[in-house]
Amino acid sequence: MVGSIANSLMELAEDNTKPMVPLVNNVGTTCLTITEPEAGKEAVEARDGSIEDVLVKYVEHLKERTQHHLGYPYNLDFDYGTVIAKLSGFSINNLGDPFIESNYGVHSRQFEVAVLDWFAHLWEIKKQDYWGYVTSCGTEGNLHGILVGREVFPDGILYASKETHYSVFKAARMYRMECVKVETLVSGEISLEDLEAKLLLNRNKPAIVNVNIGTTVKGAVDDLDKVIQILEQNGFKDRFYIHCDSALFGLMIPFFNQAPRITFKKPIGSVSVSGHKFIGCPIPCGVVITRSIYEKKLSDFNQVEYLASVDSTIMGSRNGLAPVLLWHGLSRKGYKGLRKAAQKCLRNAIYLKERLKESGVSALLNPMSSTVVFERPIDPAFVQQWQLACEGNIAHVVVMPNITIVKIDEFIEELLEMRETWFRSGRIAKPCVAAEIGRENCLCELHKI
């Protein structure tokens, strides 16, 4: 792999007019075909054999890709094989409200409510005071949280930092909400100064604020307490709704010492988290929790006779396997297991950041984060090989429980070998990423000490 990447760079080295950060083209996938099955015993056997061959090759592909996965926040260290084997013969669908059983009896609401109760306890809200459900992903949690905020304040303005996950801006478009983008610090954290200035420009309208508990690219945590303070000190008391997008770090921060508390004891409206990220799950899923008094604004208009239930969810039909897997994962790990995993991620992220900087690679690691940001590798093939997430001049590795020291060392060694190839001739300068991660973290020729 290293050799093929090196060869692909020879042309780039010969032409220094090409951009330092080439755009990665979408990789066309090989499409499978579905053919009408033929009749006859021999045809059936041939068909089944062909299907099996395709699946075997696909499994081998997945194994290889799993071994070279660093850029996206998915914990790939899990094993639900026995659980899935027991349940794969059932169409488990949690139609509608998780707390009101519908006429469809093949569901997993007992597992779903157990998962919701666990998160309600984590985020300190009493059982009678919360409502929520197991979502299909973190995006659905954001869509629901922002929707509740809009229902509470129909004329409210949505405020979100420019480094907020794209799903929040998708929600604004879907719900036709006025949305104000707020500037960020170099760390990726929301600029409190700019937030206050923009709030004051719209003091006559309520504020719906998205607070990031870990931004998508830099893993920065917005200061929830100061956001609340700014809102209350500038005339928005009782006229604001806060949604906390906690997709990844909502399950990690509670287990870090001296970390800010994400709790409904503070005046927040909703929290969403992904289930397939830190916990680890073979299917995308998540959880959203909001206050029951807010949810009534949706449920009062969503009585569905056809279901014999209420449906305030985004999707309606919901994967009933996901709550069972989350229940299984949380039951096996518990608070102690999650704390151990979170602290391992933090240690390994620090190790990765230090190894990068010792090797002359510009890098940033925010406090209470396992997202290591560094200068973007200039070869798209290397980026794709390690499945790195990139934005502009930077890339990142999200250190999850399955990312070991051995895997980090393997990545570093290959990266350094490639950098030697990239920069050997001197025709390509090492990139400056001071604007993206701060001068103190940039090791280009201009800023290195």
Taking the C-alpha atoms of residue 217 and residue 396, their distance in angstroms, rounded to an integer, is: 7
Taking the C-alpha atoms of residue 190 and residue 188, their distance in angstroms, rounded to an integer, is: 7
Taking the C-alpha atoms of residue 205 and residue 382, their distance in angstroms, rounded to an integer, is: 48
Helix, strand, or coil here: 33? coil
Cα–Cα distance list, 152 to 208, 234, 293 (Å): 9, 20, 10
Q: What one-letter code names the amino acid at 211?
A: V
Asked whether 145 and 270 are in contact (CB, 8 A), the reply is: yes
Taking the C-alpha atoms of residue 132 and residue 144, their distance in angstroms, rounded to an integer, is: 10
Q: What one-letter code names the amino acid at 178?
A: E
Q: What one-letter code names the amino acid at 13?
A: A
Q: What one-letter code names the amino acid at 336?
A: K
Taking the C-alpha atoms of residue 394 and residue 396, their distance in angstroms, rounded to an integer, is: 7
Cα–Cα distance list, 163 to 33, 79, 211, 370, 407 (Å): 40, 33, 11, 17, 28
Q: Which helix (H) or strand (E) holds 152?
A: helix 138-152
Give every strand in the sheet of 179-182, ordered side by side: 130-135, 286-291, 270-274, 240-245, 207-212, 157-161, 179-182
CA proximity to 152, closest of 297, 366, 326: 297
Asked whether 346 and 365 are in contact (CB, 8 A), the reply is: no
Q: Which residues are catalytic?
A: 369
Asked whether 371 and 397 are in contact (CB, 8 A), the reply is: yes
CA proximity to 429, closest of 373, 355, 369, 375: 375
